[in-house]
């Protein structure tokens, strides 16, 4: 049995070497059908600009999974836009992928846990996600981590001329904060 080393870490800036690894892993995940939205691998320059752009957006946090030092997986935590006060309690887990050659080492589970931990540290009450119904391995991981499916969209994705269902999940990270009752509140009249 070959002993492999895995690591999960936030990626705050993308070096040229990391970019090559990210693009390689993303391309292989896309070709295998787990490409976080892409059905066909875009040109390498498009993938490169995408990942370099992700780390520039303050509301996005990129985590990578490494296998023997090489990036083999990634996921993002997306914070809500600042102008959306009504949904400021919930963050989004998005764009999780693991290269096929790196599966089976627990990297995806640890990436989900890293996002969940950061979301809790940032004070979010809820963590949401959505994915294609065909991504059964990811569904098993999310459900095992306590994410609850609350909805299904029968036309979530269009793949090869056919609609594919998509599922929506959420997980409550902590209890609602208790609100203080006003001391000056008037008692109802009898």
Inter-CA distances, 171 with 16, 128, 143, 154, 159, Å: 35, 7, 10, 22, 28
CATH topology of domain 6-172: Aminopeptidase (3.40.630)
pLDDT digits (tens, 9 = 90+) for 152-184: 999 999 999 999 999 999 999 988 878 776 555
**pLDDT given for residue 38 in this prediction:** 87
Domain boundaries of the chain, sorted by first residue: 6-172
pTM of the model: 0.89
Cross-strand bridge partners of residue 71: 66
What angle do helix axes 44-54 and 16-31 make, rounded to 10 degrees?
A: 120
| Cα 10 from chain centroid (whole Å) | 13
Dist. CA 143–CA 74, nearest whole Å: 19
Low-confidence ranges of the chain (pLDDT < 50): none
- Categorise residue 37: left if φ over 0, alpha if ψ from -120 to 50, beta otherwise: left
**pLDDT given for residue 33 in this prediction:** 81
**pLDDT given for residue 124 in this prediction:** 96
């Amino acid at each position: 049995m070959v002993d492999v080393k895995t690591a999960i870490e936030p990626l705050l800036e993308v070096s040229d070497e990391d970019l090559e690894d990210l693009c390689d892993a993303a391309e292989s995940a896309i070709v295998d059908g787990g490409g976080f939205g892409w059905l066909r691998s875009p040109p390498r320059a498009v993938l490169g600009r995408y990942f370099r752009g992700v780390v520039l957006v303050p509301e996005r946090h990129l985590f990578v999974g490494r296998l023997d030092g090489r990036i083999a997986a990634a996921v993002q935590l997306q914070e809500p836009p600042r102008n959306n006060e009504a949904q400021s309690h919930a963050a989004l887990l998005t764009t999780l992928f693991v290269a096929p050659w790196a599966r089976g080492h627990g990297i995806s589970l640890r990436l989900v846990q890293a996002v969940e931990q950061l979301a809790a540290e940032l004070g979010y009450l809820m963590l949401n996600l959505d994915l294609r119904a065909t991504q059964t391995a990811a569904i098993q991981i999310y459900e095992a981590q306590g994410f609850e499916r609350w909805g299904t969209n029968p036309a979530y994705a269009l793949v090869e001329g056919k609609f594919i269902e998509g599922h929506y999940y959420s997980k409550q990270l902590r209890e609602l904060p208790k609100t203080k009752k006003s001391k000056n509140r008037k008692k109802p009249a009898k």
